[in-house]
Amino acid sequence: MQKTADEVTVKQVHIKDDFWSEIQNRIINVVIPFQEHVLNDEVEGVAKSHAIENFRIAAGLSTGEFYGMVFQDSDVAKWLEGVAYSLTVKPDAALEKRADDIIDIIEKAQQPDGYLNTYFTIKEPEHRWQNLQECHELYCAGHMMEAAVAYYQATGKDKLLHVMERMADHIISRFGEGKERGIPGHQEVEIGLMKLYRVTGKEKYKDMARFFLEERGKNPNYFYEEKQKRGWIHFGQYGMDPLDTKYAQVYKPIYEQDKAVGHAVRATYMYTAMADLAGEDNDEKLYKACKRLWNNIVNQRMYLTGGIGSTTDGEAFSEDYDLPNDMAYAETCASIAMVFFSKRMLNIEADGTYADIMERELYNGTISGIQLDGKRYFYVNPLEVQPGISGKVFGYRHVLPERPGWYECACCPTNLVRLMTSLSAYAWSEGKDTIYSHLFMGQEADLEKAKIQVESRYPWEGKVVYHVSPKKSDFTLAIHIPGYIKIKEHHLQVTINGEPVCIEAVIRKGYLYINQTWREGDTIEITFDMPVREVYANNKVRDDEGCVALMRGPIVYCFEGVDNDGDVQSLRIPENVKAEAVLCKEGKLSGNMLLKVDGYRIHTSDALYSEERPTKEKETLTAIPYYAWANRGENQMRVWMHELS
């Protein structure tokens, strides 16, 4: 096995796209400042954070008690990582100075032996490293490693990088062969260690990541034995059973795992690190394990929106095809993790399947987690909501019909910041002889072999243009063509400098390969139709039987009550649906493409049960992009609609 390509850094690519630039600007101008105020406890009416104050107390700069979740440090880490990426999109000297000041505090909070964790420094120093299952010391370390690498790459400043090298060295001194054979309860440090390895070139960090991955599952009872040895627990009756080996993915060694099980975010972070390591070391056995897990997720355990982890019981994967819509968990962080996993798999093999899922997550399952104004967030992303039941009735209380302003466990808001500000890192990979374009985003990319400007009207229109300024004359440009685009059905056309290309001859595994001697100003134009598509679920997905969902381009659509007389439950979609895409020009959804659908409304007797046959009435229905739901008050929402034959 030979890795296809390497990562492209965020500094090499600038997003200039009508769709994504608006989101990035909102993140930078609204979300990052808002979250900074939250992390400093300056926003009334939202859950208290205290995260930065915890670092001040640990640094001896303030007095008081630790407050928050045991993993509160990770909120600061993810926010700092997002800030780092944002500085490459929009330089901001004042924001950078405030980030530097926070990094100074973090450095002062580090202990003489390199240990960094505010909970145990302030509250229980005698219990360091005794509860890997619950207390997330390694998880927090991993996120701060990622922040350190991002900040160094964005600004050239290495203070936080050195802090986290010392922490990584502290971890290496404690865990590994011939030392404590520990593993993280919540995987993440493996990703951080791999990033630390790449930026420093120090093999010991990659070796530590491999140890944590390969040690997992060798002793399925590790967490139970750890609990017996320490004799105390952190979360009390709400803690996870250490004998539940699937929850923490310790039921088998990673090379033998073939089902995505347990906590969805933990699992997918682990799969991301596995794929990263497999690509770095050309590890065919590890890559095959990744492919098995990938195929199980995308073919049996993923929602149409890209959501994963269908049950609230452990925020976890359930069984194959168990994908309830109105009880879905589908944590925002899990969709973000699938973007990470997809990109690492793409670096190993340019297979359009991976790019298709990355695209699905970006346009649906991730950005549904944030309100259009950037001020409120979803942790859970259902595909059906019924006010009065969702968020209130037992079994549905996790399914909120409107986004809260913040969370006590605020992993998703800061995770969204770091993803949205680093979008450019997911658009390209560059191999020895080939540049890979994975996403139809408008952008300017300054790559090793060429500068490429992309003009895009995606996702609302099917037109993308690549302008190439080569730095060397001979290389291959491989452009991902989304899997839903069929050459004849969607009238896919490609021209190079105005001359048509025989597409069938140059598409392999979902990538359009263009190999020629490049000249300044070479232009590739890709056009295709974007009709509304009807999507049907496998009949093993019992909740979607007899239903249809609508997509246009990469966008999944849903129906909200506010557009449909307050009642979407009585709507029906006919076979061979006729739908028209209409640009919304006013209100909160302005700029979004809506669907006007020829459908029916079903009328029934007022009785609970009746022998009267329901009647149907023609009606024009309105569907909106799934990511934009819950922006206009509490109302019904459905993705999967009953089909009328």
Active site residues: 315, 411
Q: Which helix (H) or strand (E) holds 549?
A: strand 547-552
Q: Are 66 and 48 in contact (CB under 8 A)?
A: no
Beta strands in 283-417 (DSSP E): 384-385
Helix, strand or coil for residue 513?
strand
Question: Of 354, 385, 349, 382, which Cα lies nearest the Cα of 368?
Answer: 382
CA 530 centroid distance within chain: 25
Helices (H) and strands (E) in the chain, counts: 18, 23
- Report yes or no: 173 and 166 within 8 Å, Cβ to Cβ: no
Strand pairing class (593-603; 579-583) = antiparallel
Looking at residue 614, what DSSP letter applies? P
Cβ neighbours of residue 368 closer than 8 Å, sequence gap 6 or more: 305, 332, 378, 381, 626, 627, 629
- Sign of the four-CA dihedral 147, 149, 153, 158: positive
List b or e across 604-615, with b for residues whose CB sees 16 or more CB atoms inside 10 angstroms: eeeeeeeeeeee
Residue 592 is classified by DSSP as: P
Rounded to the nearest 10 degrees, what angle do helices 93-109 and 51-58 cross at?
Answer: 50
| Residues 72-101: b if buried by 16+ CB within 10 A, e if exposed | bbbbbbbbbbbbbbbbbbeebeebbeebee
What are 612's two structure tokens?
A: 């009267």
User: In 10 A of CB 585, how many CB atoms?
Assistant: 9
